[in-house]
Structure formats: C-alpha cells, structure tokens
Amino acid sequence: NAGVTQTPKFQVLKTGQSMTLQCAQDMNHEYMSWYRQDPGMGLRLIHYSVGAGITDQGEVPNGYNVSRSTTEDFPLRLLSAAPSQTSVYFCASSYFLEETQYFGPGTRLLVL
C-alpha cells in the first residue's frame, strides 16, 4: 500500500508555462482533494472530487483545472503558471465522509 503519492516533489516553472501535478492513491478512496499551503495562511482547498467523473471547486480554484477519470488519479493542471501560484501543494484522499484524510508528501512549486 503506497498510500497517497504525488509527483514531482519539486518543480520550477517560468511564468506562462503549463504543467500537471500528479496525485494517485491505492486505497480505493472516493474523495480526493487538492490544497495549497502558503505561509501564514494554512492550507486552502483548490478543488475536490467525490468520485470518478465528479469534481467541484474549493476556496481558491482560479488558475487550476482538475479531472477525475479514474478512482485512483486526480491530477491538478496549471494552464498558465503565475508567480502567485508559488506554493506547496498537497493532495489528500479518504472514503467519503470518513473522518480521517490521508495526505500525500506535497509538491513544492516555484514560479519565476
């Protein structure tokens, strides 16, 4: 059981570039979500999904796209990176309405 995995661990982008942050889980969890962590602001929800084919916006969705074609994978796409998207990104998963969410190790993104 690998749990929640995220790739890459660290990425540097130039303004305007696009990229996809990968998240996968092998626990058959229905619920998956993406958070970003910024200093002094805790973690904020970007997008979430309650099952394959179903996604919804969180607190800070602008500039990000998601899709959920399988139960296991929930990629986060940055269409045109901006310096304001410099952050640490966490993916999390759980059974729907289960108390405990399992977090991935995070991806540190630097946009120049």
Determine whether 15 is exposed, middle or buried from the number of CB atoms within 10 Å of its CB (0-12, 13-18, 19+). Answer: exposed
103 contacts another protein (rule: CB under 8 A)? yes
Cα dist from 17 to 21, 90, 106, whole Å: 13, 20, 20
Positions in 36-75 near another protein (CB under 8 A): 40-45, 48, 50, 56, 58
State which of residues 55, 78, 81, 90 lies at the interface with another protein (CB under 8 A).
90
How many residues bind another protein (CB under 8 A)? The answer is 27
Of 5, 21, 8, 1, nearest to 81 (Cα)?
Answer: 21
Q: Which residues bind another protein (CB under 8 A)?
A: 31, 33, 35, 40-45, 48, 50, 56, 58, 88, 90, 92, 94, 96-101, 103, 105-106, 108
